[in-house]
Amino acid sequence: MKDIVLITGGGRGIGAATARLAASRGYDVVINFKSNAEAAVQVVRDIEKAGSRGLAVQGDMAKEEDVARMFAAVDTFGPLTHLVYNSGVTGKNSRFEAVSTQTLRDNVDINLMGAFFCARAAIPRLSTKHGKRGGSMVFLSSVQSRLGAPGEYVWYAATKSGVDGLVTGLSKELAGEGIRVNAVAPGPIDTEIHEPGRLQRIAPQLPTGRVGTPDEVAAAILFLISDAASYTSGTYLTVSGAR
């Protein structure tokens, strides 16, 4: 039986690239999407073309009931072995005093509470303490968790710092239960999360002179869930072109 990886936010960007790469490396893949069903269906087609099984499950990771429904669908698909929490939002760029309360709540609910909900649901499905065979979790952090994103989205950086804390604590709490917990911290990546023109503006300021690609982040994620990373837990793999 193939390992099964669940990727939230798997219909586009980094999540979709991770799903396709996982399928090409022999994993069966469940992706979650919030609203773009057409994109998710195409990712599942690509997974199946690679010779793996694929499933798309709609759900808002900010809603506890949607997370529960998603994991129930995974249980029907097969025994979970890996979780990749990739869901995230930033909101409109601004100074902190100008940010709306709704943007603050969206960032906390999706970037942080969603990660909490998914980690809590994944543990009994992975842990040897619960009679399972172990596995891994990878959470998408950001270089902004240490840079702070001043003038753009400090609130987003703060939620990603919370993700870092989650990874540190869970990696220690679950180390004796066959579960590895890590984070990937991308720098500027060519996805739809950025406001129009932002990537073009900041690319010349980066040490590499370019932004990264979703495939480059996906490769880091696949390393962390693979057996090649069997002694790697509690780490933050930065994929930022030296930023």
Could you give phi then psi for residue 155, rounded to 5 degrees?
Answer: -60, -40
Other CB atoms closer than 10 Å to residue 112's CB: what's the count?
20
User: How far is the C-alpha of 243 from the C-alpha of 236, rounded, in Å?
Assistant: 14
User: How far is the C-alpha of 10 from the C-alpha of 31, rounded, in Å?
Assistant: 5
Radius of gyration, alpha carbons of the chain: 17
Residue 97, Cβ density class (10 Å: 0-12 exposed, 13-18 middle, ≥19 buried): exposed
Residue 2, Cβ density class (10 Å: 0-12 exposed, 13-18 middle, ≥19 buried): middle
Concerning whether 236 is annotated as a catalytic residue, the answer is no
Could you give phi then psi for residue 68, rounded to 5 degrees?
Answer: -60, -40
Catalytic residue (choose from 27, 85, 156, 231): 156
Question: If you write DSSP's letter for every residue of 20-75 in order, what string do you get?
Answer: HHHHHTT-EEEEEESS-HHHHHHHHHHHHHTTS-EEEEE--TTSHHHHHHHHHHHH
Determine the straight-line distance between the first and last CA of the chain, rounded to whole angstroms: 40
Other CB atoms closer than 10 Å to residue 34's CB: what's the count?
19
Hey, what's the torsion of the CAs at 4, 220, 13, 239, to 10 degrees?
160
Query: Catalytic amino acids?
Result: 156
